[in-house]
Structure 1
Amino acid sequence: MGHTAQVSANVWIAAVSLAAWLWLLLCQGFFWRTDIRLPPRREPAVWPPVCVVVPARDEAAVLPSSLPSLLAQEYPGPAEIFLVDDGSSDGTGALARELADAHGGLPLTVASPGEPPAGWTGKLWAVRHGIALARAREPGYLLLTDADIAHAPDSLRELVAAAHGGGFDVVSQMARLRVESLWERLVVPAFVYFFAQLYPFRRIGAKGTRTAAAAGGCVLLRADAAERARIPDAIRHAVIDDVALARAVKGGGGRIWLGLAERVDSVRPYPRLHDLWRMVSRSAYAQLRHNPVVLLGTVIGLALVYLVPPVALVVGLVCGDTAAWVLGALAWLVMAGTYLPMLRHYRQPPWLAPLLPFTASLYLLMTVDSAVQHYRGRGAAWKGRTYARPDTVTDEQPL
C-alpha cells in the first residue's frame, strides 16, 4: 500500500510539472521565442539630438573594446557622449579621454559626481549626474548604456528610428552577452532565458499590459518621459535599476519595448563560475523584493518546474513506474525544446538544452545565497560598494 501511494505521488508530481511546462509553453507570452527584434523603423524628418550617458566604475579593462564603438556612431543628428566616472581607481576617466583623442568621432565629456549620498546606488547617482549634464544640450533622447557594451555603427540611428516609428518612450535591447568559457556557455543563455520567462518580451511592448522591464546595457529613453517619470530620482535606491526604470515609465503612461539585440554586445568576460555567481546573487533576492515567502515559493517553483522532470524520469525507471518516467520525460522534452531557440540565438550546440535542470539548480543556489547575504546584513555588493538593505535606506533627497 505504501509503495502504491509513493508511486502515485511520483506520478502526480510529474504530472503537475508537465502541466506547468505546457502552461509556460502556450500561455506565458511565448517567452521562448527569440524573434523579438527592433520594431519597424521610421526615420524622422529632423533627427533629434541624442546624449549618450555611460556610468563607469573601474572599467579600464573593457573600455578599449566598447567606447570606440560609441565614438564611431553614424548618427545623422547631433549626438554627444557623457562618460561619468563613478569613483574609479583604475584610471577609467583618463583612459576614456585617451581613447577619444585617438579615435575621434562623437564629442566626449568625462565627469565625476563624487560618492553617492545615502539612498542612492552608485550607478544611478552617476546616471543622474550624466543626465543633468545632458539636459543643457536639450536632447530629444537619452541613450543609457553600460561601459562594457559595444554597439554596431548604426546602433543609435536604428534605436531612434525604432522609437520614432513605434511611438515608444523606451526602446531597450538585451545585449548579447559573452559566451566563450564553459561556465558562460552553461549559465549565460539560461540567464536571458529565465529573464524572458519572467518578463515576456511580447507583453512588455503590448498596449494595456502591466509587464515592464528593460535591459540596462542599452536603454534609449525619451528625454521628456524621463522628466515625467523622475528618472533616476524616483528609482535612486533600485539595485535592479533597468526593471525599475521601465516600471516607472510605463506606470506613468509611457510605452516601452524590449527585445533581443544582434549587434549590441557585452564585452565583459565571466570566465569562472564564481564571476557568474556574483553577477546573479548580488541582485537575485532584490528581484524577490526581499520577501522570504516569495523566496520559498521561488525555490519550490524552480524545483517543481526544472528539477522534477529528470528526477521523475530516473525514479520512474528505477521503480518501474511507467507513468512517472513518461511524464517526466515529456516535461523534460518540453523544457529542452523551449530552450533551443535561446541556444541558437547564442550560437550554442543543442546538446546543452537537456542540461537546463543542472543550470537551474545553480540559479536556485545563487538565489538562496543572495538571501543569506542579505540577512547577514551585507545587502547588494558590487565593485567595492555594499548597499544597505531597503529597510535602512532613508528618503533624503540630494541638494
Structure 2
Amino acid sequence: MDVLLWITAVSGLAWVYLTLFHGWFWRTDVRLARPAAPPSGSGSVAVIVPARDEAAVLGESLPALLAQDFPGRARVVLVDDGSTDATAEVARRLGADAMVPLTVTSPGEPPSGWTGKLWALRHGVESVGEVDWILFTDADIAHAPDSLARLVGEAERDRLDLLSVMARLRTHTRWEKVIVPAFVYFFGKLFPFRRVNRPTSRVAAAAGGCVLVRRTALERAGGVAAIRDAVIDDVSLGTALKRSGGRIRLVLADGPARHVDSVRPYPGLADLWNMVARSAFAQLRHSWLLLVGTVAGLALVYLAAPVALVVGLVGGDVPLALLGLAVWALMTATYVPMVRYYGRPAAEAVLLPAAATLYLGMTVHSAVRHARGRGAAWKGRTYPAPAE
C-alpha cells in the first residue's frame, strides 16, 4: 500500500506539471483566425494530393478541393501512387469541368531510400513549377469552400512559412469515439501546439493531412528530398522547416462545422489499431530503450491513479483511494476539452486511462512488428527503420 501511495503521488505531481507547465497542451483553442484574413489575390497555390488506392473516399473529398473559392490562381495535382483500384479514373471523372483545374499524374514506384508518399509529393512539387504556395493534403481530407483562402490568408498576414491544420477525424463508430479524441490529445501532449508555434521553441511538428508551405521555404529546407525516408513525414517536414529558419504554425480544425475533416472510416478496433501501430515505434526512433521508458511512463501517468482508487476502496485504505481519485480527476479534467471538441459528452473523459491502455498495447505491437521485419506497413508497402 505504501509503495502504491508513493507511486500515485509521483503520478499526481506529473499531472500537476503537465497541466500547468507543459505548453497548455490540453487546450483546444489554437485554431485558424476568425474572421479569415483575406489573401492578397495575387498569389498562386498548387494543391498536391498523394493518393494510393483511394477511390472509395475521393468522391467525398476531391470535389471540395476542386470547388475552392480562392481569389488567386489555384490548381490541384493528384499524384496516383501506384494504386491498384480506380483512383486515377475516379479523380479524372470528378475533375471534369471543375472550377479549379485538376491534373492526374503518377511517379512510378519509389526508388530505394524513399517512402511512397514522399516520392509522390516530390513528383507533385516538380510538376507544378513556380508557385507561391504548396498545399499538401491527403486524399481523405474534405475542405470547406473557403479553406484555401483562409489558409493562405493567415499565412500571408503572419508571414508564416508553414501552416498546418490537424484535421478532424471521424468519430462515428464506437471505437472511433474512444480512440480518436485520445489520438489527438496524445499528439498535442507530444507536440504542444503553443510550443510548436513559438519561434524560440525547439518543438516542431505538422499534421500531414493539411500542410500549407511557402515554396521558397520548402526549397530552403532542402525540399521533400530532405525527409525522403521519414515514416512520420508531417513531423519531419515541420522540423525541417523550423530548423531552416522558417516560421511554422500548427492549429486544430474548426469545431463541428466542417472545415478540414477526414472522411476515412475506421469501422473496427483493428483498423484504428493498425493506424497507430504502423508508426508508433518510428515515433520512438526505433529505440527499445525509449519503448521501455514509454511503457513505464504511460503506466505511471495514466494507470497508477485508477489502480490506487480500486485498491484503496477494496482494501479500506481511505488516503490511497482519495489520492487515486484526485489524480484521476485531474487527468480527466485535462481531457474534457478534447472530448467536447469532438462533440462527445464530457463524462467520457473518464475513459482516458482505458484509451491510454489501448495505446500502450498499440505501441508495444508496433515494436513487435518491427522486430519481425514488418516495420511500418501501409497499403502493401513496408518500411524498415532508416539506416544510421
Q: Residues of 2 paired with 1:290 and 1:304: CA distance? A: 22
* More off after superposition, 200-209 vs 320-329: 320-329
Assess if the C-alpha contact under 8 Å between 1:179 and 1:188 holds in 2. Answer: yes
Asked if 1:242 is matched to 2:262, the reply is no
Q: Quick check: 1:260 aligned with 2:252?
A: yes
Matches within 5 A, 1:90-109: 90-101=85-96, 104-109=98-103
Show structure 2 runs of 5+ residues with no match.
none
Partner of 1:202: 194
Q: Runs (4+) of structure 1 moved beyond 6 Å?
A: none
SS at match of 2:234: helix
**Counterparts in 2 of 1:89-238, with a 5 A limit?**
89-101=84-96, 104-135=98-129, 138-238=130-230
Q: In the alignment, which residue of structure 1 is the partner of 2:291?
A: 295
Paired residues in the alignment total: 383
Bigger drift between 351-360 and 191-200 goes to: 351-360
Letter in 1 for 2:290: V
1:346 alignment counterpart: 342
1:19 partner amino acid: L
The SS at the match of 1:176 is coil
Secondary structure of the residue that 1:390 maps to in structure 2? coil
- Contact 1:228 1:252 (8 Å CA) reproduced: yes
Which whole-Å CA distance do the structure 2 matches of 1:47 and 1:34 have between them?
Answer: 33
Q: Which residue of 1 aligns with 2:75?
A: 80
> Residue 331 of structure 2 aligns with which residue?
335
- Give, as a single letter, the amino acid of the residue that structure 2 aligns with 1:314: V
Query: Which residue of structure 1 aligns with residue 54 of structure 2?
Result: 59
1:377–1:389 contact (8 Å) kept in structure 2:
no
Q: CA deviation at 1:134?
A: 1.2
CA-CA distance at 1:231 after TM superposition: 2.2
Task: Name the aligned partner's letter for residue 232 of structure 1.
Answer: V
Q: Measure the CA separation in 2 of the matches of 1:335 and 1:66.
A: 36
Describe the SS at the equivalent of 2:165.
strand
Cα separation, 1, equivalents of 2:42 and 2:183: 35
Match of 1:272 in 2: 268
| Percent of residue pairs identical | 60
CA contact (8 A) 2:137 2:208 kept: yes
Q: CA RMSD in A?
A: 1.1
Name which of structure 1's ranges 242-251 and 45-54 shifts more when overlaid on structure 2: 45-54
Counterpart residue identity of residue 166, structure 2:
M
Cα displacement (A) at 1:230: 1.5
Equivalence for 2:319:
323
Moved more, 322-331 or 266-275: 322-331
SS in 2 for 1:359: helix
For 1:47 and 1:380, the matched residues in 2 are separated by 41
> Which one of 374, 388, 399 corresponds to residue 384 of structure 2?
388
Q: What corresponds to 1:4 in structure 2?
A: none
Deviation, structure 1 residue 346: 0.5
TM-score normalized by the length of structure 1: 0.94
Mapped partners of 2:269, 2:2: distance in 1: 38
> Residue deviations 1:30-87, cap 9 Å, x none?
0111010114754344431000000000000000000000000000000000000000
The one-character-per-residue Cα deviations of 1:263-318 (angstroms, maximum 9, x if unpaired) are: 11000000100000000000000000000111100000000011111001011112
Opposite residue 360 of structure 2, the aligned amino acid is L
The separation in 2 between residues aligned to 1:324 and 1:140, in whole angstroms, is 59
| Equivalent-residue separation in structure 2 for 1:388 and 1:265 (angstroms) | 30
> Residue 11 of structure 1: which of 5, 9, 25 is its match?
5
1:397 aligns to what?
none
**Deviation for aligned residue 1:388:** 2.5
Structure 2: which amino acid aligns with 1:220?
L
Q: 1:267 is aligned with what amino acid?
A: V
1:109-164 deviation line (CA, Å, top 9, x unaligned): 000000000110000000000000012xx110000000000000000000001101
